[in-house]
């Protein structure tokens, strides 16, 4: 491999004068956290987290101006939300374990992690669907219901995008694209999945815990 690279590169001869080679070799292309995409995902998460901050700001702003009880129909029950939260956290944990695998050169472990997180994510979505259909109010009932469906809906949209990422990554891992040396795309997708989990914790705390705090 290296011989071919050297014989292919005609530049050594062409770049006539003053050739000096620095001692250190540098990796080429997208490698781990050196990939531009890694930084790009950090900026995407920053702006998306801000979006949720503004959503929750709207919630608290409208809650603080509410006349009468808040939430109007009482604090939402925890029967589905708590197991859903635990499932989402479990998904992040297995994903972390899967990423650990590819860092150690085990694509199989990454595939198991991706598949498990995918199943857990779909389960979360299904539970959210049940939760939604069981609510005593509709989107247009009042401002609380508007907030509830919009904010949890925004989060579900992010779960769906995250699941699409995981599914595509599963496919790419199956194609043998990733190794211990090259797996930026997987790390970037996994980071997004962790973000989806963490943002849910903020949404969960806002809707399910703060009404119970007094």
Partner 1 sequence: MAVIETDRAPIIARATDDSPSSATLRQSWEGRPGVGGWLATVDHKEIGKRYVVTAFIFLIIGGLEALALRVQLARPNQTLLTPEQYSQLFTMHGVTMIFLYALPVLSGFSNYLWPLLLGSRDMAFPRLNALSYWVFLFAGIFLYSSFVVGKGPDDGWFNYVPYASLAYNPGPNIDVYALGMVLLGISTTVGSMNFIVTLAHTRAPGMSINRVPILVWGTLTASVGNLFAVPAVSLAFFMLWMDRQVGTHFFDSTAGGQPLLWQHLFWMFGHPWVYAIVLPAMGIVSDALPTFCRRPLVGYTAVALATVTTMVLGFGVWVHHMFASGLPILSLSFFGAASMVIVIPSAVAVFAWIATIWTGRPVFTAAFLYFAGFVLLFVIGGVSGFMTAAVPLDWQLTRTYFVVAHLHYVIIGINVFPVVGGVYYWFPKVTGRLMNEALGKWSFWVMFSGFNVAFFPMHILGLLGMPRRIYTYASGLGWGTTNLIVTIGAFVFATGILLFFINIFLSLKRGKPASANPWDAASLEWSTSSPPPAYNFAVIPIVASRYPLWEDRMDEGAGRSSVGAGMLLDRGRETIGTTLLDAEPDVILKMPGDSYAPLLMALTMTAAFVALLLHSRWGFGIAAVVTVLTSIGWLWPERSLMQIETGHD
Residue numbers at the binding site for partner 1 (CB under 8 A): 1-2, 4-5, 9, 11-12, 14-31, 34-36, 39-40, 43-44, 46-48, 50-51, 53-55, 57-58, 61-62, 65-67, 72, 139-140, 142-144, 146-147, 150, 164, 168, 172, 176-179, 181-182, 184-185
CB of 86 to partner 1, least distance (A): 29
Query: Which C-beta is closer to partner 1: that of 79 or that of 138?
Result: 138
Nearer to partner 1, 53 or 209 (CB): 53
Contact 186, 101 (CB under 8 A): no
User: Look-up: residue for tokens 């080679």?
Assistant: 21
Write out the H or E segment, with its range, that includes residue 127: helix 107-134
Q: Which is nearer to partner 1, 1 or 213 (CB)?
A: 1
- Cβ(2)–Cβ(28) under 8 Å? no
CB of 200 to partner 1, least distance (A): 18
Which DSSP string do the residues of 134-185 spell out, in sequence order? H-SS-TTS-HHHHHHHHHHHHHHHHHHHHHHHHHHHHHHHHTT---SS--HH
- In whole angstroms, give the CA distance from residue 70 to residue 73: 8
CB of 101 to partner 1, least distance (A): 14
Measured between alpha carbons, how far is 88 from 198 in angstroms, rounded to an integer? Answer: 9
- Cβ closest to partner 1, residue 108 vs residue 179: 179
Q: How near is the Cβ of 83 to partner 1 at its closest, in Å?
A: 28
């Amino acid at each position: 491999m290296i011989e071919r690279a050297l014989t292919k590169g005609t530049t050594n001869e062409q770049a006539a004068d003053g050739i000096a080679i620095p001692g250190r070799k540098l990796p080429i292309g997208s490698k781990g956290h050196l990939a531009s995409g890694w930084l790009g995902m950090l900026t995407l998460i920053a702006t998306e987290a801000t979006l949720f901050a503004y959503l929750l700001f709207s919630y608290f702003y409208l809650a603080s101006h509410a006349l009468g009880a808040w939430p109007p129909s009482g604090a939402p029950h925890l029967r589905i939300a708590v197991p859903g939260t635990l499932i989402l956290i479990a998904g992040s944990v297995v994903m972390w374990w899967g990423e650990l695998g590819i860092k150690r050169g085990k694509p199989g472990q990454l595939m198991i992690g991706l598949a498990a997180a995918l199943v857990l994510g779909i389960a979360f979505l299904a539970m959210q669907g049940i939760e939604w259909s069981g609510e005593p109010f509709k989107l247009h009932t009042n401002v609380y219901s508007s907030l509830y469906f919009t904010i949890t809906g925004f989060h579900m949209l992010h779960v769906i995008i995250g699941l699409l990422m995981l599914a595509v990554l599963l496919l790419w891992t199956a194609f043998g694209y990733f190794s211990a040396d090259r797996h930026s795309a997987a790390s970037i997708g996994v980071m997004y999945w962790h973000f989806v989990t963490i943002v849910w914790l903020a949404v969960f705390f806002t809707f399910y815990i703060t009404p119970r705090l007094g």
